[in-house]
Amino acid sequence: MARVVEAIYENGTLKPLETLDLPEHQRIRITIHEPIVESPDETLEAWHQVYEGCAEDEIAQIEAIALDRSRFMRQEPCVAMELSLFDTDTLSEIMKGFDQQVQDNARRYLAVFHHFTFSIITRYEILRGLKARRATRQIARFEQRCQRSLVLPLTDDIIVQAADLYALLYQEGQLISDADILIAATALKHNLVMVTENVNHVRRIPGLSIENWRA
């Protein structure tokens, strides 16, 4: 049975982004689909089009839903040019295209890495905002952007690391939302810098590298 699995190519090795339930020494056939290369300006323009056609108050409502983590199980300057994981707030800011510093940083990032990487949690949060507003055209554009991005799944390894982080923060009386923990665990598991505006919360997570493009 055919199965689609995303992988990252690092140091001469293909690393699957999810656990493969295969016997040892199983021979498999791999078909490589390389992403379509766009210029940084083309990529940014396409992301801007996700919100195109929405009035400012509609965008604000979509963002309010997308960034609301109170019901997610529990409440609570210069680009470093390192491969990064984009939090929901930063990706939404990129789509709005209003903040010049964020746009400049995004353009420089795309010139090096060609696409954005984000968690499937971020995909869920933005998609729920768009669907709640019945923004059909914007949903289609967002789906297209996701196809040209690297959307990292929640693997069992990430779940285990997130549970460890939850336990640590719980014991320290410093709990943050499950969404924050899961996205941070994804960044840690893949050795990615987390680009976020939610610095006050995620800085509680040990070992996590953080960038705030609006700082």
What is the separation, in whole angstroms, between the first and last Cα of the chain? 48
Q: Place 3 in a pLDDT band, splitting at 50, 70 and 90.
A: low
Residue 1 has a pLDDT of 53
In-domain check, residue 85: yes
For residue 172, pLDDT over 50 is answered with yes
Phi, psi (rounded to 5 degrees) for 159:
-60, -45
Please state at what angle helix 88-96 crosses helix 120-132, rounded to 10 degrees. 50
- The H or E element spanning position 102 is helix 100-113
- Report the amino acid identity of residue 195: V
Residue 87 has pLDDT above 50, yes or no: yes
Q: Is 69 a member of any domain?
A: yes
d(CA 13, CA 115): 20
In a domain, 25, yes or no: no
Q: Provide mean pLDDT across the span 19-26.
A: 77
**What does the alpha-carbon distance between residue 43 and residue 148 come to, in Å, rounded to a whole number?**
9
Residue 7 located in a structural domain: no
Output the domain CATH number for residue 46: 3.40.50.1010
Determine contact, residues 211/195, Cβ cutoff 8 Å: yes
Question: What mean pLDDT comes out for the span 145-157?
Answer: 95
pLDDT exceeds cutoff 90 at 70: no
Would you state the structure tokens that stand for residue 128, as one six-digit string?
Answer: 């729920």
Query: Is 27 domain-assigned?
Result: no
pTM of the entire predicted model: 0.73
Q: Which amino acid is at 99?
A: D
Beta strands in 138-214 (DSSP E): 150-152, 193-195, 210-211
Residue type, 62: I
- Report yes or no on 30 lying in a domain: no
If you average pLDDT over residues 131-143, what whole number do you get?
96
Total structural domains within the chain: 1
The DSSP code sequence of 116-166 is -EEEHHHHHHHHHHHHHTT-HHHHHHHHHHHHTSEEE---HHHHHHHHHHH
Asked if residue 136 is part of any domain, the answer here is yes
| Residue 207 domain boundaries | 40-211
d(CA 135, CA 62): 9
Find residue 118's DSSP bridge partners: 151
pLDDT above 70 (res 80): no
Q: Report whether 138 contacts 170 (CB < 8 A).
A: no
Q: Which residue has the higher pLDDT, 42 or 7?
A: 42
Residue 22 located in a structural domain:
no
CA distance 56 to 58: 5
